[in-house]
Structure 1
């Protein structure tokens, strides 16, 4: 059975956490969650779920308004309202707004999952029988590049992926969320002045015009929001800043690529939880593979596994094969970037991405191929 993509929206963080735990089911994939506030609708558009669960508390007006917008603008997506109070007046208002079901809180996991399955089946059947399904203008896709160890080339992949997508005609932005030692600017040969640290100190992280004032446009067409100039400035950027910046940028770019630190902290988790796709980078040495396995287990417990694709970087013939890695991590390998120390080093030292500096190299060709696969794999038509 196809996994049902579910997004959670609510007014109470603790209740959202409870709902996440209730939905630990093999048929359900949680795409993301957010508070019921400005930007929630844009996140729904971007994540493109099958079902939206709205935990409304006493915020009935805001919840019903959001549900109505999803119903009108996102065909194929069902909305289920979870309320502390389910009297007739609230149910009637919800149904008029297009809400498929109003369920009481608290609720048990089996009941919740069964309702989700039912709504998913009904909506899927309705769309299959509809002769004229409206096209949905889904907005940008967020790709988080993560690795459980430093030096495995995640920044190289993030930068070249961004440039490759831009060369395909997409509007692309890169956020360097490696706040202490991020060096995306080095790979692009960009002089940093205004960074994500300065942006986060203001009150404008939800203002796209303000964000654009802090980005640098590279000649490849990629917009870059650089990491802080010094490690001590990392403390100015919170996980909430990362989430707000990502969700503010979504409607204005085809792809937002987030480079992360080589550890699972609150910043990298915020970038992962707000992504449509996570590229987990690994190497072929046993230490990196072990760290990859550990991080995948943790992300699995947070119900993020379904949007992760594993990429082997610096691939070369070794006693550890791709089949060995797949068996260890219990996940398929989606791509293999060949080991090309000379091309990678010269590219970084010049500040010119490899797909521009050495486009005929095996490394660059595989990075371009990866960009094509990534663009296709998260295309909205692949619902």
Structure 2
């Protein structure tokens, strides 16, 4: 048994070391990957040259969590995707999210969390949300302004977002100040990028009103302005008539690079309509090698994740829906996906056991 790098794939035939081999492994093999062979057959494959051999009798696949209504409450259906279809296992009663690497997995509550990631040693990185809202009219005075990155529950980085925009200047009951993280990603080293929505609304005693909405991206070092909209209303002191004007600014379309995971990233238009009017919004998804993989109806506030299946196919999640991408088309497989990442596990045994199956 020896290792070889795949030069080409045609159906269940694999070209390696100058010979066509028959693939009888338990997973799809892709060009450029390492495989184990006896010179005639491919018995498994590995994604990196120093990975361990995966025997064909070991259950592998992409673990899935799906929230479903059962017995008058939400429960989690545990399944896995392998050999072109979803295999249900059973239900657990906890309302949880999941993240996994190729070897390890973790269940997380998801409450107050923007994102979660796991490295190949099993370290769990989490990115926690910021939600500042001061609105006297409804009695809101919430000032959770610290953006935290944690590794295995310990804070490794923290940032106070409010000083970046200035403290709340609320002088009347109808004034409003908001600073919220509406999307974010953390990687396997703790590096992150978040999308921040900052909103200020001020009313004057003469009937004037100024509201400003800003969307910016922050990675711990740099602020990248993305969009800004200001609406101003003034009242004529003589006639009493109101006059409204609006100004908009946006960065060039597709100028923001927003990470997904495993080196993949997305770029998207600078258009507020997707947030306010529910219009169709198309983003471009790229590989770690800057290759355009697909154009997808998603946005930076969604938990977008992709898992390559080989031969140009991908398992795709855009938050709740789970799709199969094949031949440039999406086919929905389920709704209610609770995976932070779609990622293959070499051995599903421990994951099944943890779920009680």
**What TM-score, normalized by structure 2, do the two folds share?**
0.26
**What TM-score, normalized by structure 1, do the two folds share?**
0.24
Computing the radius of gyration from Cα coordinates, the structure with the larger value is 2
> Which structure has more helix as a fraction of its residues?
1
